[in-house]
Amino acid sequence: MALKPIMNVIKNESMGNMLCYKVPCEDFNNGSTLIVAEYEEALFMKDGMIEQVFQGGRYTLTTENFPFLTTLKSTLISGGVSAYNCRIYFISKQHHLELKWGTSEPVNVLDPVWQTYIKVQARGAYTVAVKDGKKFFVKLVGANAMATETDIVKNFRTAFIQNISEELAAYLSASPEEVVLTCNKKKALADGLMEDLNNILDEYGMELINFYIENVGVVEDENFKAIDEMRRLNQVKMFERRQNIEDERMRYGLNREKAESDRFVSGQAAQADYERMRIRDQDGNNGWARQEEAEILKAMAGNEGMAGAMAGVGAGLGFGASMGRAMGNMFDQGFTGAQGDGVNNGLFRANPEAGANVNICSKCGAAVPDGMKFCGNCGAPMEKPKIICTNCGAEIPEGMKFCGKCGTPIAGASNVCRNCGAEIPEGMQFCGRCGAKVEG
């Protein structure tokens, strides 16, 4: 009777894609050498039971070192050396990369923005490794004796796709953004699936090292086209809204610039009037009044109706001299102090009895034509600033200490500028707006 071959050195001689490899020989010498790589485990099995698990390292198998070998002894003798019979399995614990997955059928997802169902498909890859060799062998390998990467993909495909489909639909529907945008957040979705998929593998003594989503795509059906059209119309409305806002902002800016320009022109005109009156009166002989008289006479002489009427009564060219005398008398009656009285530097002053259309400056006493807001001689404002109640906004007569409308106490004279009406902080001696000295 021929003897069975007996192995003296036991090691894994399988291909790299094997997760479980059974040593073909089942008879081993007492004292044989077991070599287990660092990335694997060796399982010793007898009568359907795993007797011991060896981790990475080099072992000399003797009954003295490993008492369990005594129970494996047989009557087989080879060269005077006793032998034992058992089955040995090598379990690879290295990472198995790029195991592919993909949804065979599109997943229906409710778009959270457009509230329309659309279909998505996904694909990717994952990396697994054996965490518990004994548990992996008992629950997954068993009587098959061997297991490859293909077996892993085949065994876990349905469970993986079921969980991936459910989690994918839940994640996309719960997102605040529309599905086509959330589909680009593949890493966040993959991280969310890791825990659920790991629970599936843990039951079989395995662990999920990495999980990748290569692509999540939307099926371009009728619903997708409808969403695309709604998105386009929404973008048009948003563009028009932004354009209207920009137009309003531009109109506001133009109006503000125009108002500032008008204020500037008005100020320049007032300054020009002041300078013109000052230049006309430089001779100290009512130059401004005399020029105004000449302009009035010129306008009246150019009036054909009036000139014709005067010619009809024989006035002829003497009209000009008569009118000049009449206007001179008018100005003599209406104005006094043409030669200067030592107070207003030669500026004419109004005669109150004549009822002339002029105002008197309260600061320098100069005559100011009606309608002027500032004195042409000293620049002081012609109107006294109104006192306004800071509580209710009512106008308060001068000299009042309380508001007649709401009873609010009125700030003292030192707190309101008599020149421009601005409020002056306590202790200030000059107005911060116009620079006028605060009166005690």
Query: Chain-centre distance of CA 73, in angstroms?
Result: 78
Instruction: Provide the token pair at 14.
Output: 């399988």
pLDDT of residue 254: 85
The residue among 376, 355, 356, 381 whose CA lies nearest residue 436 is 381
For residue 73, the model assigns a pLDDT of: 57
- Whole-model pTM? 0.47
Q: At what angle do helices 287-301 and 222-280 cross, to 10 degrees?
A: 110
SS3 assignment for the chain: CCCCCCEEEECCCCCCCEEEEECCCCEEEEEEEEEECCCEEEEEEECCEEEEEECCEEEEECCCCCHHHHHHEEEEEECCEEEEECEEEEEECCCEEEEEEECCCCEEEECCCCCCEEEEEEEEEEEEEECCHHHHHHHHHHHHCCEEHHHHHHHHHHHHHHHHHHHHHHHHHHCCCCHHHHCCCHHHHHHHHHHHHHHHHHCCCEEEEEEEEEEEEECCCHHHHHHHHHHHHHHHHHHHHHHHHHHHHHHHHHHHHHHHHHHHHHHHHHHHHHHHHHHHHHHCCCHHHHHHHHHHHHHHHCCHHHHHHHHHCCCCCHHHHHHHHHHHHHHHHHEECCCCCCCCCCCCEECHHHCCCEEECCCCCCEEECCCCECCCCCCECCCCCEECCCCCCEECCCCCECCCCCCECCCHHHECCCCCCECCCCCCECCCCCCECCC
d(CA 295, CA 150): 113
For 294, 317, 334, 347, the CA distances from 290, given in Å and listed in that order, are: 6, 21, 13, 12
* pLDDT tens-digit profile, the chain (440 residues): 344 556 688 899 887 778 889 998 888 877 889 999 999 999 998 878 888 899 999 998 887 777 777 776 554 555 555 677 788 999 998 888 778 888 888 888 888 887 888 888 888 998 989 999 999 888 888 777 788 888 888 888 888 888 888 888 888 888 888 887 888 888 888 888 888 888 888 888 889 899 898 888 888 877 777 877 877 888 888 888 888 888 888 888 888 888 888 888 888 888 877 777 766 665 555 555 666 666 676 676 666 555 555 444 444 444 444 455 445 544 454 444 444 444 444 444 444 444 447 788 877 878 888 878 888 888 888 777 777 888 888 888 877 777 888 878 776 544 667 777 677 777 788 888 888 887 65
pLDDT at 331: 46
- What pLDDT does 55 receive? 93
Amino acid at 317: L
Asked if residues 320 and 328 have their Cβ atoms less than 8 Å apart, the reply is no
Cβ atoms 206, 130 nearer than 8 A: yes
Q: What is the pLDDT of residue 6?
A: 63
Q: 336 pairs with which residues across the strands?
A: 349
pLDDT at 83 (0 to 100): 72
Domains, the chain, with CATH or none:
7-92 (no CATH), 96-219 (3.30.479.30), 258-300+318-369 (no CATH), 384-440 (no CATH)
Q: Which of 91, 118, 226 is nearest to 172 (CA)?
A: 118
pLDDT, tens only, 251-278? 888 888 888 888 888 888 888 777 777 6
pLDDT in tens, 310-336: 444 444 444 444 455 445 544 454 444
Q: Could you tell me the two tokens for 178?
A: 């529309």
Asked if residues 175 and 112 have their Cβ atoms less than 8 Å apart, the reply is yes
Tell me how long the chain is: 440
Among 149, 145, 144, 191, which residue's Cα sits nearest to residue 167? 191
Interval 335-347: pLDDT, tens: 444 444 444 444 4
